Amino acid sequence: MNSHDTIIILDYGAQYSQLIARRVREANVYSRLVSWSTPAEEVLVHQPKGFILSGGPNSVYDDGAPTLPDYVIESGLPVLGICYGMQLLANRLGGRVVYSQHREYGPATLHLDQPDDPLFRGWQVAAVEPHQSQVWMSHGDKVEALPNGFVPLAHSDNSPFAAAADVARGYYAVQFHPEVVHTTQGARLLSNFVHHICGCGADWNPANFIDEQVGLIRAQVGNGRVVLGLSGGVDSAVAAALIHRAIGEQLTCIFVDHGLLRQGEATQVVETFQREQGMNLIAVNAVEEYLDILDGVTDPEQKRRLIGEKFVRIFEREANKLGQIDFLAQGTIYPDVIESAGKGKKDAHVIKTHHNVGGLPDDMDFELVEPLRELFKDEVRTVGSALGLPDSIIWRQPFPGPGLAIRCLGVITWERLERLRLADAIFVEELRRAEMLRAGTQQSFAVLLPVKSVGVMGDGRTYQEVIALRAVTTEDFMTADWARLPYELLAKVSRRIVNEVAGVNRVVLDITSKPPGTIEWE
């Protein structure tokens, strides 16, 4: 059980549910995101100080619509309903929810009716029009009549009860989405709820997390030995540093060079972690093994499963050489757990099988150590900095566990991997020169497409492969927008790839946001 003051967020299927959890943690309060259908005993064991009900795509009047669990009301704890959560709370307590003739999607002006309410403490109102602020709406239904005991706190042009509360019982509800950046003061609202209404202390921070995890790792591992798959990415690096701090020489890191890394990374991993960080590191060249199992495979989920299974088998093989090994450590983080419907999760839809979660075989022989599985990416970076890892590791852009296998669409051959590796290196190099690798984009890479196009080079006709460039901006990797890169930069990257990468005669740009797309192509 977690020792921090905890806020439970009930997930009703909104695309921004994970953002609510992240915003609460930014207020230095621990939060857990769970399905609304999770059994009461699994939720209440965390001894929450309050509940937040997320938005969702349903109407409260839909057949089979998600409901408000009895334990939420029976607990007597503060509750904040957001969008669908507001409608659910109002409907449950005797209010009236109706279909709106004028839906609200996008920015709206919020007019505060009760600016002194604790929910709006410190809320900076507009200078020209007092008690106004911008919020983000996304709803069809709305609350037409409040339950007994509720008073209106704010309204918009289309929502007479854009915010309302039963202060005596600690029930609060907002029709807008405070978790998104488009609600300019949403983070303050959520902070007010968890601190001033729920009474949570601000005790969720990297230093506390490190101290607690060191204790938990030592308790779990005891005198056992741990192996960790070190890819050189942020997550596995921070996991390695944290576990190494806890148990020192009991940790052995195994770096599997599967031939699916970016240009120069295999050498960099060995130099950084073995020579600079002083960790026990075993480097395994498994390029031929991976090329063999991936021969002819084009389905991305099959690629993931094969890579995950081979990953574990190699670990088992190397562990046998080391003697008794009891634990397998992984850099699994919270978005991995959320996005992978995985084993035993109810009411979840598989987006893709993450290498750290769904790709592992059921018959693996190790017990897992996953110290980062409750953290978002930004929290992982903060912990890494507190552990003393260099910025070159902390701010490395994300790289999928299956590596270039899911960026090399279609069949995988060494020739196609080398083609992709070089194109990707050119793209990254030019972004770095333009100082856009960290500040201008959060994830940038090249994708080799399984199609060919006609071109003209010199005096001859070509029929060669296509490279797609993908660059996104994001705060949390749950949602993302395509990066507006300068035309001059794109032109230079395209020119260099076509001229320097054999077998490529066309470069295209991916301008899809997430959602509806994902950041990776596979």
2 three-class SS: coil
Please say if 179 is a catalytic residue: yes
Catalytic member of 177, 244, 258, 355: 177
Number of residues in the chain: 522
Using CA atoms in the order 506, 511, 514, 515, what is the torsion angle rounded to 10 degrees? -110
Token pair listed for 260: 């699916």
**Pairwise CA distance, residues 212 & 398, whole Å:** 26
Please count the helices (runs of H) and the strands (runs of E) in the chain. 15, 18
According to DSSP, the β-strands at 226-229 and 151-155 are unpaired
**Cα dist from 324 to 27, 223, 282, 319, 327, whole Å:** 43, 11, 16, 7, 10
CB 27 within 8 A of CB 190: yes
Catalytic member of 4, 83, 104, 355: 83
Please say if 177 is a catalytic residue: yes
Please say if 74 is a catalytic residue: no
CA atoms within 13 A on the CB side of 421: 17
**H or E segment at 505?**
strand 504-509
With 0-12 / 13-18 / 19 or more C-beta atoms within 10 angstroms meaning exposed / middle / buried, residue 370 is middle
CB 142 within 8 A of CB 98: yes
338 three-class SS: helix
Catalytic member of 179, 379, 465, 522: 179
Token pair listed for 4: 């921090």
According to DSSP, the β-strands at 132-145 and 96-112 are antiparallel
According to DSSP, the β-strands at 163-166 and 226-229 are unpaired
Return the active site residues.
Answer: 83, 177, 179
